[in-house]
Amino acid sequence: MRISDLLRYSVVSCDNEPLGRVSDVHIVQDGPIVGTQAAFRVNALVVGKAGLAERLGYIRNRVRGPWLISAMLKPIERKASVVSIADVAEWDETNRVLRLSPTTLTPLAEHVTSRLENRPGIGRAHV
Amino acid sequence: MKPAGNVVYANLDLLDRQLRDRHGVLCGNVDDLELQRSDNGDLYVTAILAGAGALAYRMGRRRLGEWVHRASQRLSDTDADRGRIPMELVMDIGPAIDLAVEADDLATHDLERWTRQHITDHIPGHDRRANQ
């Protein structure tokens, strides 16, 4: 499987309610040691629309201005949420659908705050 | 869901990032990432995929991507998949991704290399500089 395959999956709740497509994949370097470093484990999926704003840098507080564009794009981030990979109950590879177990979605902004608290210096170049 | 190790977002921090070899030479971009499921069910990122084939696959042109990848393999002298860079060779993830490899060992410039060796070098005057 490739990450581009994963980014084509749609996510539905345990009640088959559509939640959106996978827009990003949260990866944690906490796996077993391979070579000289820990392996990168897929930890969670970002679900929902965040594409354009993300590419422009307005998602996850990378770019804050001009304020007008920032204000226009902020609501997009609020629509995105994060689901742990452990909460995926079923992988339907034929229809590219991930069905979740009964779970509570974490808003993306809340997840990012948690991420920054745990970040020792990898990944983000322009914090 | 609070992670203990270093964290990155694949789309934001890895895909399309510039690759640099051990000497700082630019050697392509991250076009896709290979995932493998471990015995306990966890998904791991095992390799960076670089090259036109991987990019076409990611853009939804799977058959074209596989064809380009096969064509690229035929251009190279080895059987090894030179568009696949194992994650253990990734030394640093920042504005660019630093690798512990030589740029010539990657498939990124295979077409240019093949064209130079098989076509350009056989044209009379190929060794002249442009300003001569």
More reliable by pLDDT, A53 or B126:
B126
pLDDT at A126: 35
**Residue B70 corresponds to which tokens in the numbers above?**
């096969």
Minimal-distance CA residue of chain B relative to A83: B1
Q: Which residue from A2, A46, A118 is facing B7, i.e. has the nearest CB?
A: A118
State what percent of residues in chain B have pLDDT above 70: 89
Q: Which of the four pLDDT bands, split at 50, 70 and 90, describes residue B18?
A: very high
pLDDT at A120: 43
pLDDT at B5: 64
Q: Are B9 and A26 in contact (CB under 8 A)?
A: yes
Burial of B127 (0-12, 13-18, 19+ CB in 10 A): exposed
In this complex, do B93 and A123 lie within 8 Å of one another by their Cβ atoms? yes
Can you list the alpha helix ranges (DSSP code H) found in chain A? 3-6, 51-56, 67-79, 108-117
pLDDT at B34: 94
pLDDT at A78: 66
pLDDT at A49: 72
pLDDT at B103: 83
Q: Which of the four pLDDT bands, split at 50, 70 and 90, describes residue B4?
A: low
Closest chain A C-alpha to B125 CA, distance in angstroms:
45
Q: Is the link from the previous residue into B3 a cis peptide, with omega within 30 of 0?
A: no
Q: Is A53 on the interface with B (CB under 8 A)?
A: no
In this complex, do A4 and B88 lie within 8 Å of one another by their Cβ atoms? no
Residues 6+ apart with CB under 8 A from B108: B19, B27, B28, B50, B51, B83
Residues 6+ apart with CB under 8 A from B69: B51, B53, B54, B57, B83
pLDDT at B62: 80
pLDDT at A124: 40
Closest chain A C-alpha to B45 CA, distance in angstroms:
5
Closest CA to B87 of B120, B126, B128, B44: B44
Closest CA to B16 of A57, A80, A55, A38: A55
> What is the average pLDDT across B65-77?
75
Give the burial string for B4-33 (b: 16+ CB within 10 Å, else e).
ebbbbbbbbbbbebebbbeeeeebbbbbbb
State what percent of residues in chain A have pLDDT above 90: 15
Closest chain B C-alpha to A124 CA, distance in angstroms:
7
More reliable by pLDDT, B3 or B102:
B102
A55-69, A100-114, B22-36 — most confident range = B22-36
pLDDT at A56: 64
In this complex, do A118 and B42 lie within 8 Å of one another by their Cβ atoms? no
pLDDT digits (tens, 9 = 90+) for A75-106: 766 667 888 888 888 888 889 999 988 876 76
Q: Which residue from B11, B15, B93 is facing A122, i.e. has the nearest CB?
A: B93
